[in-house]
Amino acid sequence: MPTISALCHGRNFAPRLHPGDDVIYMTKKERFADHSQPHRRLVAVLKVLHRFETHRQAANWFQSGGLALPNNCMVPDNPCVPLDRTDLHEPSLREWDIGYLARSRKCGVFLVCDPVALDLYTPPIITDGDLVRVFGRIPGTRNPPSISEAQFDQLSEILHSHIAASNRSAS
């Protein structure tokens, strides 16, 4: 089950969401190996199922259901991922982990989501032109905006069409 925490964006994103909310999830703009120009990738359409105010509450929910704890659930009994699977900004794994534990205590909102549409391996490219067509501009993503239903539908359709085309070509 995909999860969203407030570890990276603090109070700017996860705390604004509640069960029933829909989320479009895309990468930050960067240069990916298979494409020469910097761009974003549209990875998921999610529906928020559960909201917890602390990581401990979320961990208890996962454990009571016999589910593995997600990597972004910052509780002492959940080991951190290897440093080579992170952004590598901190000088040591211990400092990295301590920083994220502190962040989880400062703003502990933790969301469990249903993956309505998900492509983690070959997600579609979202260019600046795509964003301008949908929003009339390139919206800020550091503090993700609320979007209209029409904008959500346009982005969602890009991912759904991409997944359908991938499934057809795999058959």
> What tens digit of pLDDT does each residue of 30-64 get?
888 778 889 999 999 999 999 999 999 999 999 99
Picking from 96, 157, 100, the residue whose alpha carbon sits closest to that of residue 124 is 157
Spatial separation of the C-alpha atoms in residues 1 and 135, rounded to whole Å: 29
Neighbouring-strand partners of residue 117: 45
What are the Cα distances from residue 158, in Å, to 128, 129, 148, 153, 170?
A: 14, 14, 16, 9, 18
Q: What are phi and psi of 88, to 5 degrees?
A: 60, 30
Q: In the CATH hierarchy, which fold is given to the domain comprising 3-170? A: ph1033 like fold (3.10.590)
Spatial separation of the C-alpha atoms in residues 155 and 2, rounded to whole Å: 19
- Scan for tokens 């974003």, then name that residue: 40
Burial class of residue 166 (count of CB atoms within 10 Å of its CB; 0-12, 13-18, 19+): middle
Model pTM score: 0.82
How confident is the model over 65-121, as pLDDT tens digits? 999 999 888 888 887 766 666 665 556 666 666 676 666 667 779 999 999 999 999
| Segments making up each domain of the chain, as ranges | 3-170
